[in-house]
Structure 1
Amino acid sequence: MPKTRRNSILLFYLILLLALFSSRAQVKSFPKNISLVSYIRQLEKDFDVKFSYVDEDLQPLLVDTPEAGSLEAILDNIRNQTQLIIKKLSNRYYTLSKSTTVDICAYVLDNYSENSAPGASVEVLGSSISTVTDANGRFTLDNIPRKASIRIKHLGFKPKYVTAEDLVSKNPCSKLLFNLNYQQLDEVVVFKFLTTGLTKQTDGSITVNTEDFGILPGLLEPDVLQTVQALPGIKSIDETVSDINIRGGTNDQNLILWDDIKMYQSGHFFGLISAFNPYLTEHVTIIKDGTSAEYGDGVSGIISMQSKNKIEGNFFGGAGFNMISADVHGQVPISEKLAFQFSARRSITDLVNTPTYNQFVKRAFQDTDVEDVSGQSSDTNINQDETFYFYDFTAKVLYDINEQHKARFSFININNNLDYTETAVNLARTDQSNLNQTNLSFGGTLESIWTDRFSTKLNAYYSNYNLDSENRINNGQQILDQRNEVIETSVKLNTNYQLNTNLNWLNGYQFSEVGISNFTDVTQPPFESNIKGVIRTNSIYSEISYASPNKKLVARGGGRLNYIVNVQYFDEFIVEPRLNLSYSLYPNLQLEVKGEFKNQTTNQIIDLEQNFLGIEKRRWMLSNNKNDTIPGNPNLPVVKSKQGSLGLNYDKGRWFVGLEGYYKEVDGISTVTQGFQNQNQFNGEIGKYDVKGLEFLINYKNSYFSTWFSYAYNLNNYTFEDIVPNVFPNNLDIRHTITFAGTYTYKNLKLGVGINYRTGKPFTEPIDGLDSVDFTTFPVSIIYKEPNSSRLPDYVRADASAIYNFNISNGVKATAGVSILNIFNKENILNTYYKLNDRDEIVTIENVSLGFTPNLSFRVSF
């Protein structure tokens, strides 16, 4: 080959190489995953073009820069990565804009080892579009609105929410990491018993799910405070929901919470009806002992009610009536993140007289059935005129700030109003009572999930109770004006840290301030008292919960440190250890060990049993630990309790058998808080009571039928050093309590029938003979036998109820029910006490139980 030709070929290849190098050098090399805005600005320089776009649309976008190529190839690559709409207006001008829909693609993986999560459900919220991940955890969806919210759910993981724009298809697809869903350790269920909706937890607490609630004898609705009395160890010896006795304690020793707000009033019609609407109450927790360290107060027990806490997509509600009241409730969704709940109930008793109302009136206003010790009636012609009504109202705002933060705001108002006139015609005597009783409370909570393992709950509330009453006795010769007000504010912070799948660490702080005022004005004999006080309590608490991997051992232990300050009288530190342990000895046999120390600083005193005709005689007062004696302001120490229990539960198939023994000691009680009706009624001695008890329950159930037998033994004694004898039976010493009941469900029909038996409560009789009245004292007084040395007759009552469910239309369900309390109209004496009449003669007053009491109800839900 000639040399000139070879040189020409070499020159050609050299020119071609330079041309290729020059072409590749036109695009500057960029790292991957850079800002799209920065990249297109460089493209404008490299290719001498101009791009028109909205900064806000492109600013958050990142792209992987392609290899060098033509401008059209680079723009196609950007279009595939971002799904932007790119239009060529001329050889030099282009526009970039967002499309309204996008195609999305992602791999769903766990956040622990990034294993794929096949079978996860993927939903486009607000539409019918959905899919599931394949065997590799991958999914794709086309033409999804760019701003649409995507929810991904999988068993064992927390739901994940992203926007479609976050998952714009890439090559490879996006990665989504699922957070593991840790469960609280105390939610391990042991057994569902008695009726549907009643569940015993591993920690020994009982929960009531009102939506799943079946039926109990005598009940037409899942009345919270009536339902708890079906459990062994919980009764009301005077048949009221406002005087519930848990293991021999008084009602004021129970902590009653509604949406984490402490309640000072719990009943309507002076305790015969619960004040809490059960149809927005989602679940109830009953704790007799082994309490978590986060709870203060309530030396006898805790009843905690929680209203519905989830935002539903559609409106739901209901309404109904029975022979005492009518009510309505509902939840209104305002948006996906905001909803409003409400409930309202009002009595119809001031409009219509029903057989149920008449029995309630007879039960409430019976203290005028006065007989002398010879059994002869002293008031033979009595006219009664009462105007009575009650109402309650609740409201709740639910706001999901996002998936990790949820805010709730709750409000409740309870009101009782009474105007009562009673005239003894043959004596030309008239007594009048006017009473207004209210409880107004509101509060809020903020629940936050900060990480997979750390969460907090902040709660604050304000609670205000008012009792305002006037009693005019014997044609106004004596006027008693009494007012009682309680104001409590509280702030509480809980922190939960999941150390691992088996260990949870709870820490928290609570501050509460309680102010109570008591005003009393009596015209004859003249007396006036106005007592006010404030107690502030700072508490810190900590506890560890553990559950073994096989759930054979579940344990919770911790403590609470309280610093209590009565601004007038004292300050005190109190340490309260808590323990709750459950261990499975065998697959169907569980051992429970529980113990706790607790205290409380609020008490209810009872001045006179006949105050306000025996209708409402209790007033709230603060502990004061004082030594002086001021009329109307008795010495009330801080009440302290310690309790321990040991139990066995057998659960196999259709059978449940539970046996639990316990010991409880409550120190710092006063005779003025116990309702004494004898020589110790006004002395104000300080003492204690101790209870040794045994609770037994056997329950058999199948798909249609449930029957149970329960027995409770209760040896409850007072100890007062300044009373003779020092030790004697507690006013609530009910030695033996037996319940035998059953329920039957067939399709839409539910039936319940049961019988309750218990031994009579102790009371004190006057001594026998003519020396039973002491005329040497002023005023003249009754001479009694030893305290609580007599007992009332045994109590027996049989109840039944029936409920039928049916559909009115596709979206409207209805329930009709009938119940009968005291089927056999057994006259049970609930209490007996004595007083002197105008002639200084002893008269006997007997409180008698409800007689044959029917009730009907009808409800609709939608």
Structure 2
Amino acid sequence: MSKKGIIYLFVIIFFSSIYSSIAQNTSEEPQPLVNILIALETQYSINFTYVDQTISEIHIVKPNKSLTLEEVLDYLKAETNLDFILIDSYNVVISKRINPLSEFITQKLEEVVITNYLTKGISKKSDGKTVIKTKDFGILPGLIEPDILQTIQALPGVLSVDETVSNINVRGGTHDQNLILWDGIKMYQSGHFFGLVSAFNPYLTTDINVSKNGTSVIYGDGVSSVIDMRQSNSLDQNFKAGAGFNLIHADGFTKVPITKQAELQLSARRSLTDFIFTPTYNQYLQRVFQDSDFSNSQQNTAQIVSNNERFYFYDIATKLLYDITDQDQIRFNFSTINNSLTYDQLSLVDENQSLTNTLEQNNFAAGVQYLKYWNSKLTTTAQLYISNYNLEATDFDVINSQRQNQENEVKDLGIKINATNHIDDNLKLHGGYQFNEVIISNLEELDFPDFTSFVREVNRTHSIYGEAEFTSADKNTYARIGIRTNFIEKFSEFFTEPRLSVSHKLSNNFRLEFLAEFKSQTTSQIIDLQNDFLGIEKRRWILSNNEDIPIIKSVQGAFGIHYNKNKLFISAEAFIKNVEGITSRSQGFQNQFQFVNEIGKYQVRGVDFLINKQFETFSTWLSYSFSNNDYTFDNLNNNMSFRNNLDIRHAVTFANTYAINNLNLALGFNWHSGKPTTRPANTQNTTNNIIEYKSPNSSNLSNYFRTDISATYKLKFGSKLDASIGASIWNIFDRKNIINTYFATDENGNIVTVDNLSLGITPNISFRVRF
């Protein structure tokens, strides 16, 4: 039997065995409260609002379906010892019964527009952001674990043109235009395995807030989006731990109460790629290294051969929580993310000449935060952090006896001070100050001929901001308006950035939404040469100098209408985004503009559409995005606009998830039109050995299509011990998607087409335990 047939047979047997065991379960056994609430939301057409920690450990018997809503709430109150407050006909707030000694600490809950958005654990809020709760996360096609940055790509308007988490494109923007925060600390590295695995362990990351527009003024940078990841910030008082593995890595996490006032959170993950070779690893290896110096040297077997490759990655994250008093809290954070690759090059001409190429990538982050609850209305926070990113490569050219060293380093020191004042139940004010000192250096050395280039830039930014959040008494209108002012010391310039988010409920079913923002950022990524850093991690961070690298500025607005009734959610959102100050070196051109350095802008106009229908055990959705994304460079293409390298005109996702008792299944497909490309002209000048091209981005790659499937099953061994197993297949039909094409000349001057392919059929299996 073929390998593909074995995989299909495995999946059929896996699903069949799980289903037969599930069919024997009885419904009278206690179930997790969160699962019962999901069913009740469908049965009574209501929404429950709660803090995950409040209900996470509660298991009860499902109430009788013949009960009225009031009777059900009374039953839940009696069984859970929680308060179930019916706000109106459609919303119920769940809370712990208040301890009179701590009444001054209150929590204002944001209104949820839709729960279980796409799948369990994803919700849409009234301020326009999407919230992902990893603990409640259900399942998505192709994923058996809550991979944070892969999950984000399921949202309308978000995709990756090369299937990586280190190149996430939000409404036509480049990856460096996303502000990625981990507990308030800016992160400059987002991927393991050079972009195929998220670098952030999801099992202690409780909430991920994603904003595409109308962002709060507390956030600077990120002209395309904000991805704000947060670990638990409250003491659990219970020991918890878990561990697991899949065909790429193994990981573990724990929450350890130290005293009644202190707790330690710890997570660690390490790849298995330097110990065992799996089908998943082989596919990842082919995908990442297919167009690198490593693979290119292997192809040139006439002169050199590469061997003894060793690749691994790891990440460690810790958080210490200490409640000094009921009113004073202090939090310490630490994280390190690492990728490492080495391989030897052996010259077949001189067998004694063997040299080792290396690539190291690391992001270290540490911070301390102090929270002060002054009274029931006023809260302040102060945070100090450092984030250090380092990318180093040593590349030997065995044939020419040449060594090249490259290094890109970012040091980011930040201070944040914020105050929140609840004026009353309808108005909340935010204000604060932020300081950042960012130092970015780039080093390049050659030993033959002797050449050294070192560039170091420093920038200090002071920001002040203020913001008001308003909710009408009838809860039909939400508005957040704010302004942020950035002062950049190096250029002595002020940038004022107003932000706006308005949501109004026309009726119980229809809601209108308007989002707008101004933003700026001084950090970006460029590609100097396509073989930078062994051709694997080609992008390097740089700082604006207000000359050939300007400050990037954006203006965007969006208007949406949403319909939500009986678990049917329909959403349409039109948007426009203008971004100026980009450089041609940051766009990854591989045509006539590859070695040109010009300043330009782009404009994206489009519509995101989503229809999502939820049943008690089944959820299905269809999303469609249309966008028109054009560059304008004053000195390129005769000053005429042309298509952006990320102009994905049409994108469609159709997916289904099914959950019953402990079984979760998911099946879906992703399709989008091919990205633009530039093809050689029909007539070439053969005297200069330079490729002459047609008009930039006047052609398209073939359409992209991928089908994924996944399944997970939970096993209960006792009140505190459970486990889960999972299986998935990415690109189940093994479609050969071309994600990039460029052209080169061979030694005879002939034009050669180089196609980069997406991941082929990629199986994965996981096993996890929690206790």
Q: TM exceeds 0.5?
A: yes
> Counterpart of 2:655?
741
CA–CA distance in 2 between the matches of 1:749 and 1:561? 50
1:485 aligned onto 2:412:
no
Task: Pick the aligned partner of 1:580 from 482, 495, 501.
Answer: 501
For residues 275-329 of structure 1, what are the alpha-carbon distances to aligned partners after superposition, in whole Å with 9 as ceiling and x for unaligned?
1110001010000000011110000001010012221122101000010110110
- Note the C-alpha offset of 1:228: 0.3
Conservation of the 8 A alpha-carbon contact between 1:597 and 1:642: yes
What is the distance in 1 between the residues matched to 2:433 and 2:687? 55
User: In 2, distance between residues paired with 1:507 and 1:411?
Assistant: 27
How far is the alpha carbon of 1:472 from its aligned partner? Answer: 1.5
Shift, 1:690, TM fit: 0.4
Asked if residue 402 in structure 1 is aligned to residue 315 in structure 2, the reply is no
Match of 2:151 in 1: 227
Question: 1:342 and 2:342 equivalent?
Answer: no
Whole-angstrom CA distance in 2 between matches of 1:179 and 1:526: 68
Q: Deviations over 1:733-775 (max 9, x none)?
A: 000000011011122111001000001111112212342x561
- Is contact 1:158–1:180 with CA below 8 Å preserved after alignment? no
Q: Secondary structure, in 3 states, of the residue corresponding to 1:363?
A: helix
SS in 2 for 1:334: strand
**Over residues 601-642 of structure 1, what are the superposed CA-to-partner deviations in whole Å (9 max), with x where a residue is unaligned?**
00111112233442111110000012xxxxxxxx21000000
CA gap 1:228/1:851 in 2 versus in 1, 3 angstroms:
same
Letter in 2 for 1:664: K
In the alignment, which residue of structure 1 is the partner of 2:194? Answer: 270
Cα drift, residue 508 of structure 1:
0.7
Q: Match of 2:656, as an amino acid?
A: G
Structure 1: gaps spanning 5 or more residues: 1-150, 163-176, 627-634
Task: Name the structure, 1 or 2, with higher relative contact order (CA <8 Å, separation 6+).
Answer: 2
Q: CA separation of 1:437/1:369 partners in 2, compared to 1, >3 Å: closer, same or farther?
A: closer
How far apart in 1 are the matches of 2:748 and 2:397?
Answer: 16
- The residue correspondences of 1:209-358 to structure 2 (distance < 5 A) are 209-358=133-282
Q: How much has 1:399 moved relative to structure 2?
A: 0.8
Task: Give 1:391's aligned amino acid.
Answer: Y
**Distance in 2 of aligned mates of 1:502 and 1:797:** 46
Aligned to 2:723: 814
Q: Mark the CA change 1:767 to 1:431 in structure 2 (over 3 Å): closer, same or farther.
A: farther
Conserved? CA contact 2:512–2:560, under 8 Å: yes
1:419 is aligned to 342
Match of 1:786 among 662, 671, 695: 695
Q: Distance in 1 between matches of 2:601 and 2:281?
A: 39
Do the aligned partners of residues 739 and 524 (structure 1) sit closer, same or farther apart at CA in structure 2, a change above 3 Å counting? farther
- C-alpha contact 2:345 2:398 (8 A) present in aligned 1: no
Any conservation in 2 of the 1:431–1:471 contact (CA below 8 Å)?
no
Q: How does 1:843-854 map to 2 (within 5 A)?
A: 843-854=752-763
Is 2:570 the partner of 1:641? no
The share of aligned pairs that are identical, in percent, is 48
- Partner of 2:135: helix, strand, or coil? helix
Match of 1:706 in 2: 619
1:668 aligns with 2:572: no
Residue 817 of structure 1: CA displacement? Answer: 0.4
Tell me which amino acid in the other structure corresponds to 2:523: T
Q: Secondary structure at the match of 2:259?
A: coil
Partner of 1:598: 519
- CA distances 1:415-445 after superposition (whole Å, capped 9, x unpaired): 1110134679799999963101101001122
Sort the Cα spacing of 1:517 and 1:383 in 2 relative to 1 into closer, same or farther, 3 A. Answer: closer
How far, CA to CA, are the matches of 2:588 and 2:485 in structure 1?
Answer: 31
Query: Quick one: distance in 1 between partners of 2:564 and 2:350?
Result: 63
Question: Who is 1:692 aligned against?
Answer: 605
Q: Give runs of aligned pairs for residues 180-219 of structure 1, distance below 5 A.
A: 181=106, 183=108, 186-219=110-143
The SS at the match of 1:230 is coil
1:615 equivalent to 2:536? Answer yes
Distance across 1 between alignment mates of 2:161 and 2:82: 53
Tell me, in whole angstroms, the C-alpha distance in 2 between the residues paired with 1:277 and 1:811. 22
Q: Structure 2: which 5+ runs fail to align?
A: 1-80, 86-94
**1:452 is aligned to 2:383:** no
* Displacement of 1:471: 1.3
Q: SS where residue 192 of structure 1 aligns?
A: coil
Q: How far, CA to CA, are the matches of 1:625 and 1:834 in structure 2? A: 33
Query: Would you say 1:761 and 2:701 are equivalent positions?
Result: no
- TM-score normalized with structure 1 length: 0.75
2:366 is the alignment partner of 1:442: yes
Q: C-alpha displacement at 1:382, in angstroms?
A: 6.6
Determine helix, strand or coil for the equivalent of 1:847: strand
Residues 240-261 of structure 1: per-residue CA shift (max 9 Å, x gap)? 1111011100000000000110
Task: Read off the aligned partner of 2:683 and give its amino acid letter.
Answer: G
Say if 1:430 and 1:697 are closer, same or farther in 2 by CA, change over 3 A.
farther
**Distance in 2 separating the partners of 1:728 and 1:488:** 35
Is 1:370–1:843's contact at 8 Å kept on the other side of the alignment? no
1:495 to 394, 419, 436: 419
Give, as a single letter, the amino acid of the residue that structure 1 aligns with 2:181.
L
Structure 1 residue 152, shift from structure 2 partner: 13
CA distance in 2, matches of 1:828, 1:421: 31
Q: How does 1:19-38 map to 2 (within 5 A)?
A: none
1:181 Cα deviation from its structure 2 partner:
3.6
1:367 and 1:610 in contact (8 A); partners too: no
Compared CA separation, residues 580 and 427, structure 1 to 2 (3 A): farther
- What are the superposed Cα offsets for residues 381-415 of structure 1, whole Å, 9 maximum, x if unpaired? 97554210111001100011222222111100001
The equivalent residue for 2:36 is none
Deviates more, 1:254-263 or 1:444-453: 444-453
Q: Secondary structure at the match of 1:624?
A: coil
1:448-468 C-alpha deviation (Å, 9 max, x unpaired): 111221111112210000011
Corresponding residue of 2:737: 828
**Judging changes above 3 Å, is the alpha-carbon distance between structure 1 residues 368 and 427 closer, same or farther for their aligned structure 2 residues?**
farther
Quick one: structure 1 residues 774 and 193, their matched pair in 2 at CA, closer, same or farther if it must change by over 3 Å?
farther
SS in 2 for 1:227: helix
Q: Alpha carbon RMSD of aligned pairs, Å?
A: 2.5
Aligned to 2:634: 721
Partners of 2:374 and 2:732 lie apart in 1 by: 56
Does structure 2 retain, via aligned residues, the 8 Å contact 1:430–1:475? no
**Distance between the aligned counterparts of 2:345 and 2:731, measured in 1?**
27
1:837, distance to aligned residue in structure 2 (A): 3.6
Q: Distance in 1 between matches of 2:465 and 2:236?
A: 35
Q: Does 1:678 align with 2:587?
A: no
Query: Partners in 2 of 1:416 and 1:459 — Cα distance?
Result: 28
User: 1:806, CA displacement in angstroms?
Assistant: 0.4
Deviation at 1:273, TM superposition (A): 0.5
Any conservation in 2 of the 1:667–1:689 contact (CA below 8 Å)? yes
Q: CA deviation at 1:370?
A: 12
Task: Figure out how many residues of one structure are paired with residues of the other and give that number.
Answer: 677
Q: Deviations over 1:503-551 (max 9, x none)?
A: 1111111011000010011345654210001000000001111000111
Shift of residue 678, structure 1, vs aligned partner? 1.3
1:363 matched to 2:287: yes
> Aligned partners of 1:480 and 1:737: how far apart in 2?
41
The match for 2:488 is 564
- Displacement, 1:845? 1.9
**Structure 1 CA distance for aligned equivalents of residues 279 and 370 of structure 2:** 46
- When Rg is computed on C-alpha atoms for both structures, the one with the higher figure is 1
